Chain A
Amino acid sequence: MSDQTDQRNAPPATSSERTVARLVNATKRFGTGDAAVTALNDATIEFRKGEFTAVMGPSGSGKSTLMYCQSGLDRLTSGHAYIGDVDVSTLSDQELSVMRRSTLGFIFQSFHLVPALTSRENITLPVDLNANAEVDEAFLNELAVVLGIEHRLENLPSQLSGGQRQRVAVARAMIPRPDVIFADEPTGALDSKTSGELLAYLRTAVDDLGQTIVMVTHDAVAASHCDRVVYVQDGVLVDEGRNPTVDDVLGKIRELS
């Protein structure tokens, strides 16, 4: 894999038809003066359509920051973050909101469902927020069946188990058929069996629906479900590989820490 390490300082990848998101010379600094932390340091990366990417690295290395800046939840200190051809730093709050509900999907470690809404309402939330969009009921039912939550659709989140909640969150991220789904440690709060099922489902979504997924994870097993794995250290992309096995990943992690 060392051959690929050279790519880390490669010139900005040009946007191809297959690129759905990319960071160009992205730097993110928190605080000022002595207390300043550089969470992202001149990182350049692109995510291609239909690709399942794992972002790995030690705690505090900047994985979440990378994801937040890429998705427009946070703003870069310098550099550019593109979704498709759009530089997210040029978007207003309103435009970012519209982008979040139609172009992007999010899955978080701690689910972040809306407690006042039922599972169904949580799932259709991004579509419902669009005044003139219709929920694709067939797709919703298919998602519910595949995720095994078809009988829990009328329940409130407080009446669901953690695994069920996360599957509702996955369905919510999938429903608008977003260009890319960002998942920050989606299996972090789940047991290994439940997370295995979830990862298998994400894999299917990529294979069958051509869904693009960027997933931050600490779990080598989770990363092994991915097409591609990138390693982050101190805010810098240090390495990446394709079709990783669990052993590849474990070895790399040991090497980095």
Chain B
Amino acid sequence: MIRRTLKLAWFKRNRYALTVVAIALSVAFIVSTLLLTTSIADVGEPLRSAYDDVDVVVTGPEVAGGDGPVQAISAPVPAAVVADLTAAGRIAVGLADPYAQVLTSDGQAGGQDQAAANVAEPWLGDSPLNGFAIVEGAAPEVVGEAVMDVSTADAASLAVGSTIRFVTDSGVQEARLVGLATFGGSDNDPYTSTLLLAPEHPIFTTAEGFQRVLVADATVADVAAMVSGMEVESGADWIQAEQDALNDFLGFFSTFLTVFAVVAVVVGMVIVTNTFTVSLSQRTQELALLRLVGTTRRQLLSQVVLEAVLLGTIGTAIGLVLGLAGVSVLGWFLDVLGLVIERSNTISATALVVGVIVGLGVTVVASVRPAWKSTEVAPIEALRSSEADLTDGGTRRRMLTVGVLAIGLATLAWGIAQSDILFTGVAIGAIFLALYLGADSLVRIAARLTRPLLGRAGPTGTIASRNLEKNAGRTAAAASALMIGIALIGFFTLMAATIGQFIAGDAGEALEADLVVQGIGSQPEPALNDDVLEQVGSVDGVEIVVPLYQTSVSPVGDVEFERAGPGGGGGLGVALTDVDALAQAYAFVLNAGSLDDIAGSSVAIDQATADGFGRSIGDTLAVTSLAGPAELEVVAIIETSLPGSPQPAIIGDLSLRTTLGYDDPATAAYIVGSVLPGDVNEAIDLPTVEVVSRTDYIDGLSSNLDTILALVYALLAVAVLVALIGIANTVSLAISERVGEIAATRAAGASSRQIFWSLLAEFGLLAIVGIVSGLVFAWIAAASLFNALSGGQIGTPEVDVLTALLIVAAGLSGALIASWFPARSAATTDILDVLRAD
């Protein structure tokens, strides 16, 4: 008796432990993602304190982009604007953000990180417009002196007093580091490595215009009266816009993390509901007995809810601690991946409060329904049958499922036909709901379909199959939890494959260049100036050098077209190059026209752009560029354009640079010739430029994506882990219900191995239902979403059978491992423990 009591307590403890773990993990997940999101959202703060004296900001009219990977390009503000404002008694300074990348003491590119912009700014001294403050050493007084932000100095291991080298558009320069500065109280200007130089430095005096002009002691109205053709806004508005742009840039992460937090809540809720449903089903008799002796429903309900509150509190407390640790782990993971996302250390109280509300709330809400249903059962009926089914099975649920599914499919058909994102979204939601509601039916169907197969394994197989069918109402929740996790993994895998294809394009086959020279990616693209190109050309073995100048323009007119895939956004990428040379390095598939006709304002566009704008050979395309409006004539249409992000929609001749107002160095170059990357690298000897082989270049095109995917998968792994805990929970609950049956089967001669495998078969099948429905759902969601988002341009995503099998195998192994221990312990339970109990 004692052993049995302990045994049952052990089962119960197990059940509670898993419930607590499920709650804790959900809370930890929510809290850490929220903490990360809020700390990311905070990084615009330094701007505000650095520029609190800036009253007005003048920028040039925006030419292109500002959306997605197409960088915003604004026309420069003429130097005269600053002179006029100063003459009118305003404090004004123009900032050109010239490229300047610090090298480490051992000569490596030494910005804070790869994502940071590397710029030089003039030291503004006591001016209220100076956002920087010296925290060590002194200000740069003469041209040979430099100051840099604390983060950059740390990252490059440079100390005050040392001589530093930095790369600019005109080559490598030297200076003495005389001091370190902070920006608005923070160690650096967000996402920027700044080198502060004396205003007399040639890097500033050669600038022909400014990115922006900061003005103090002025109002928007009077500045607007003094300048024309410029954008004039208040300092506060400008900072807000900058912060919004930052947030846009990080929007993917915030959205993504929020989606995951929601997923965590849903999975957590499914598991907790499941736990309470099952444990209350088992206790129906006990509850009925209490009702018989006069306990009210309300009293029973409060007893159950109290239990939930207790579990919820423990789980939430553990979850909060884990969440605080988790945010560091997430941050660490971002760093390891080289995904540079600046974060503040503020701990948002909101995140903690949300965690508590969710942890406690979900648990209590999840317990109330089954509790209410269990007390609804008439006491005498509950006493008669040993357990009641508290799930909503039955006709009503099935009708609801079919109804929701029908609505979902109908909406989906409409959404696909119209490529409408709203309809598609609603359809996906409805189909998901139908899958969730119908999970028990799916499990029943799977049980029936596999019965002949399982039956062949003997009566234990039959028992497994029958139990799977009988308990489907309860165990299906575990399948649903797994379905959510697998659906997300499947969806992101399909998305990655599709996007990867867009980024790399057909570059793999079309690129014939042997080497590619490119800047080590950062925001004003680093210099491949004429000197560098010349050096490359003089290396032994180099036959052809094809410089690429990449910029962007905005299409003029009410054009609704947006490029599908990651090249989409408000602008069109342009690649300007020596087209004759390019033909040696890149094999275009020509759909119409002739590449030979590309010259001056005559350009090639890719098929997607041609379709999107409805242009054919001889048509013109009106755009706005840095130099103002321009008319481009389409003389060639190519199937796919050069690789890149954004993929250039337009390919033009070098002479078009002037027309489009592009006077920066080249952004990349293709090299044809039999020469090793190392040799070219040596000749250039510029750490901010790298030379890579064709294969490395093509691999590198999607490496950013791979990095982001690694993060996505890490987070998904957590979601799947939560789901697997749900499975383990369900398995041990189901098994604890079934000790009597297992003992009876054992007494009739079943070996523990037979019992063990039949339990594994049962829960493996349950997992397969979840995994397969998750994959199917992922495919439907991905196919229809891509279709809607791309306006029908992206066809159905290709399914990589191997990946699909891998996901199934991984999910199934996870589920089997989760079932392994409870099944093992049930199979080896001493028969007598149970038999003696009666």
Taking Cβ atoms with an 8 Å cutoff, the residues of A that contact B are 64, 68, 73-74, 93-94, 97-102, 106, 108-110, 112-117, 121, 124-126, 128-131, 158, 172
Contact = CB atoms under 8 A, between A and B. Distances in A.
Contacts of A114: 463, 741, 744-745, 748
B838 A109 contact: yes
Nearest to A131: B458
25 contacts: A68-B832, A73-B747, A74-B832, A93-B752, A97-B746, A97-B751, A97-B752, A97-B754, A100-B748, A101-B748, A101-B750, A102-B749, A112-B747, A114-B744, A114-B745, A116-B462, A117-B459, A117-B462, A117-B466, A125-B749, A128-B458, A129-B458, A129-B748, A129-B750, A129-B754
Contact of B747 (A64, A106, A115): A106
A97 B750 contact: yes
B748 A94 contact: no
A121 B835 contact: no
Interface string B137-177: 00000000000000000000000000000000000000000
Nearest to B837: A110
Nearest to B743: A112
B832 A116 contact: no
Enumerate the 9 nearest inter-chain pairs by beta-carbon distance, A residue then B residue, closest first.
A101-B749, A97-B751, A112-B744, A116-B466, A100-B749, A110-B838, A128-B459, A125-B748, A126-B749
B751 A94 contact: yes
A139 to B, nearest CB: 17
Given A68-B832, A108-B835, A113 B751 contact: no
Given A97-B746, A97-B751, 17 more contacts: A64-B836, A68-B832, A93-B751, A93-B828, A97-B752, A98-B751, A100-B749, A101-B750, A112-B740, A112-B743, A112-B835, A117-B462, A125-B459, A125-B748, A129-B459, A129-B748, A129-B749
Contacts of A74: 832
B749 A121 contact: no
B793 interface: no
Contact of A97 (B470, B749, B835): B749
A173 B458 CA distance: 18
Nearest to B459: A128
B132 to A, nearest CB: 76
B467 interface: yes
B753 interface: yes
Interface string B746-768: 11111111100000000000000
Interface string B436-472: 0000000000000000000000111011001100100
Nearest to A113: B744
B749 A116 contact: no
A108 B836 CA distance: 10
B462 to A, nearest CB: 7
A120 to B, nearest CB: 11
A9 B472 CA distance: 58
Contacts of B832: 68, 73-74
A202 to B, nearest CB: 18
B676 interface: no
B831 interface: yes
B735 to A, nearest CB: 14
Contacts of A126: 748-749
Contacts of A124: 459
B748 A106 contact: yes
A128 B457 CA distance: 10
Given A68-B832, A102-B749, A108 B458 contact: no
Contacts of B459: 117, 121, 124-125, 128-129
Nearest to A100: B749
Given A121-B462, A129-B459, A115 B741 contact: yes
Contacts of B748: 100-101, 106, 114, 125-126, 129, 172
Give the dominant DSSP class at B's interface: helix
Most buried by B among A64, A73, A116, A117: A116
B466 to A, nearest CB: 4
Contacts of B467: 116
Nearest to A124: B459
A198 to B, nearest CB: 18
A158 B835 CA distance: 19
Given A73-B832, A94-B753, A128-B458, A116 B838 contact: no
Contacts of B746: 97, 100
A70 to B, nearest CB: 13
Contacts of B470: 116
B452 to A, nearest CB: 15
A129 B460 contact: yes
Contacts of B466: 116-117
A189 to B, nearest CB: 9
Contacts of A117: 459, 462-463, 466
A143 to B, nearest CB: 15
A97 B750 CA distance: 6
Interface in B62-116: none
A115 B751 CA distance: 18
A112 B748 CA distance: 10
Contacts of B741: 114-116
Contacts of A110: 838
A70 B467 CA distance: 33
Interface in B468-485: 470
B545 to A, nearest CB: 75
Contacts of B460: 129
Nearest to B469: A116
A94 B748 CA distance: 13
A43 B828 CA distance: 29
B296 to A, nearest CB: 30
Contacts of A98: 749, 751
Contacts of A115: 741
Interface in B743-802: 743-754
B275 to A, nearest CB: 23
B613 to A, nearest CB: 66
A41 B746 CA distance: 28
A104 B499 CA distance: 66
A116 B752 CA distance: 18
B758 to A, nearest CB: 10
Contacts of B828: 93
Interface in B790-838: 828, 831-832, 835-836, 838
B679 to A, nearest CB: 70
Nearest to B828: A93
B201 to A, nearest CB: 85
Contacts of B749: 97-102, 125-126, 129-130
Contacts of A113: 744
B829 to A, nearest CB: 12
A117 B462 CA distance: 8
A36 to B, nearest CB: 14
Contacts of A106: 747-748
Contacts of A112: 740, 743-744, 747, 835
Most buried by A among B466, B747, B836: B747
A12 to B, nearest CB: 26
A125 B752 CA distance: 15
Contacts of A100: 746-749
Given A68-B832, A102-B749, A116 B463 contact: yes
A101 B749 CA distance: 4
Contacts of A94: 751, 753
Nearest to B750: A129
A64 B459 CA distance: 28
A201 B470 CA distance: 34
Most buried by A among B463, B743, B753: B463
Contacts of B747: 73, 100, 106, 108, 112
A99 B748 CA distance: 10
A128 B838 CA distance: 27
Interface string B623-639: 00000000000000000
A161 B658 CA distance: 97
Nearest to A173: B748
A126 B836 CA distance: 21
